[in-house]
Amino acid sequence: MNKAQLNKFVQNFQHHQGIIGKDKYFNSSVLIPLIFLGDEYHFLFEKRANNIRQGGEVSFPGGEFDSDKDKNYIDTAVRETVEELGIAKEKIQVIGSMGTLVAPMGVTVDSFVGVLNINKLNELKIDEREVARIFTIPVSYFTEFKPSEYFVRLEVHTQKRSEDGGMIDMLPVKKLKLPKRYQKPWKGGEHRILVYETHEETVWGITAELVYEFCKLINQ
């Protein structure tokens, strides 16, 4: 590295923020939609269609970042919301970013808060190929009631089983002369799962984490 290269690195370093190695993850983006109903704001939730990835689960509208369609992660969140809810882009008012959540299964979720400028849910025309139903719950419900906490145990495996029943080395421990203990699964720690049990559906996982962080900002 010469001085010119170092200066270039310093320039790039000053503008480089966020998650290191983000491109190795499944990068997604969601919109946390708010609708003013009655006299207060509600979260709008989706229940995903059964025939798609994570079918039957509760989520916010969103999906994978597509560099061919999206200039940034806000574009992803808005595009997916338009597609899934059948709402005009002009009726989505993005308030701002809530940050990036990194999930232990190798997923990043860039989250944005937005207001849907509609008066009734029947103004939306959901894409039934992706969304089974939509429903709303007042934000006040989540600020008043704390979620339940559960935990799952994570393990790291360096091998996986092939279709013919053999074992495939994803990380060739012996060949790389790594410590022998890494040939066996090792504990990767515990992961917290938040769960809100509501009168509509069980809100849990990544969606519950985003709701929880949203409410923390309100309470602060």
pLDDT (tens digit, 9 = 90+) per residue, 35-50? 999 899 999 999 999 8
In a domain, 186, yes or no: no
In a domain, 2, yes or no: no
Q: pLDDT tens for residues 166-179?
A: 889 899 999 999 99
Contact (CB, 8 A) for 117 and 91? yes
In a domain, 134, yes or no: yes
SS3 labels along 176-213: CCCCHHHHCCEEEEEEEEEEEECCCCEEEHHHHHHHHH
CATH of the domain at 90: 3.90.79.10
Residue 2 in this model has a pLDDT that exceeds 70: no
In whole angstroms, how far apart are CA 48 and each of 89, 106, 134, 169, 210? Answer: 21, 21, 9, 35, 17
Long-range pairs, 69-75, Cβ under 8 A, ≥24? 73/27, 73/29, 73/110, 73/112, 74/29, 74/112
Q: d(Cα 19, Cα 65) in Å, to the nearest integer?
A: 15
In a domain, 45, yes or no: yes
3-state secondary structure of 39: coil
In a domain, 119, yes or no: yes
Number of CB atoms found within 10 A of residue 73's CB: 21
pLDDT of residue 15: 58
In a domain, 96, yes or no: yes
In whole angstroms, how far apart are CA 117 and each of 16, 40, 49, 63? Answer: 35, 14, 25, 22
* 11 phi, psi to nearest 5 deg: -65, -45
Where residue 108 falls among pLDDT bands split at 50, 70, 90?
A: very high
Regarding predicted confidence, which is higher, 65 or 2?
65
Q: What is the DSSP string of 125-158?
A: ---TTTEEEEEEEEHHHHHHSPPEEEEEEEEE-S
Number of CB atoms found within 10 A of residue 104's CB: 10
Average pLDDT for the chain: 90
pLDDT of residue 46: 97
Where residue 154 falls among pLDDT bands split at 50, 70, 90?
A: confident
Residue 96 in this model has a pLDDT that exceeds 80: yes
In a domain, 181, yes or no: no
Q: How many domains does the chain have?
A: 1
CA 6 to chain centre: 36
In a domain, 1, yes or no: no
Where residue 14 falls among pLDDT bands split at 50, 70, 90?
A: low
Domain boundaries, position 35:
22-146+197-219
Contact (CB, 8 A) for 98 and 92? no
Cβ neighbours for 209, distance < 8 A, ≥ 6 positions apart: 101, 194
